[in-house]
Amino acid sequence: MLQRVIVFGNQKGGTGKSTLAMHLTVSLLHQGYKVATIDVDAKQGTFTRYIENRIKTSQSDPKIKYPTHRSIFESFSDSVRVKHKENFLKFSELINSLKDFDFIVIDTPGSETDLSKIAHSFADVIITPLNESFIDLDLIIKASPVKSGLNTGSYAEMVWEQKKARAQRDKNSVDWIILLNRMSSVESRNKKELEKILILLSKRLGFRFIKGFKERIIFKELFLSGLTLLDGNTTRTGLNLSHIAARQELKNLLKELNVA
């Protein structure tokens, strides 16, 4: 099969990128694929620490699979031109060094950096989690109180530019997926309105809209051991109804992503 590069991106933190990236990575590993991961947000390193925790846990449980992982830091050059050149060279060399893997899963920072933009330009699939908030939606589309109509948000503009860069470089297209994540358990008017808007925008901006996870404590607990809902013994106290519901959400999400 041809290698697929999957980038989790947003310009806002706290949307669950690292958690989603880890669950997708483990799902692909369980399907028998060779998976490499890259942390473009190496300074904060949430994705890296998640994988490090998983490797430590695997020492007492050899059934736990983990990916080949790499971190990459931004160039320190003061020149914008030199910085971009160095970042692009480092990233393209890293991607090339992982050419024997079936999938490369990349986590990016919750801010706009040059390295993050470069990572987006190498993506076959971009997955953008949004919190259940109109603040997050503002990064995709802006409603102007002065001008009539809607203006494209900063992150959507960046994705559009990097999709063009990818097409110019190798004529390949990018599958952009936006998912509503960390959802409340209660069906609110706010959630319904967000879903309605995202469904309408999906045609205009060229993305697929799907639903992600509800807000659950289990995801914070799993981070410490590097485990996911796909692993057998995820809790010391056993599964409760919330965990079972979360696993069903994950199953539905992986089916909707359809990246493998």
pLDDT on residue 239: 59
pLDDT on residue 1: 67
pLDDT on residue 256: 87
pLDDT on residue 188: 73
DSSP 167-235: HHHH----EEEEEEESB-SS--HHHHHHHHHHHHHHHHHT-EEEE-PBP-HHHHHHHHHT--TTSS---
CA angle (6 as vertex; 5, 12 as ends), nearest 5 = 140
The string of pLDDT tens digits covering residues 158-211 is 999 999 999 999 988 999 999 988 877 666 777 888 889 999 999 889 999 998
23-32, 76-85, 91-100, 180-189: which has the minimum mean pLDDT?
A: 180-189
128 - beta bridge partners? 178
Q: Can you name the CATH fold of 4-257?
A: Rossmann fold (3.40.50)
| R_g (Cα) of the chain, nearest Å | 18
Q: CA-to-CA distance for 205 and 155, rounded, in angstroms?
A: 12
The string of pLDDT tens digits covering residues 97-155 is 999 999 999 999 999 999 999 999 999 999 999 998 888 999 998 865 444 456 889 99
How much is the average pLDDT of 59-88?
95
The string of pLDDT tens digits covering residues 215-247 is 778 888 899 999 998 887 654 445 566 677 778
- Where along the chain do its domains lie? 4-257
pTM: 0.92
Decide: helix, strand or coil at residue 55. Answer: helix
CB contact burial 137-156 (16+ within 10 A = b; e otherwise): bebbbeeeeeeeeeebbebb
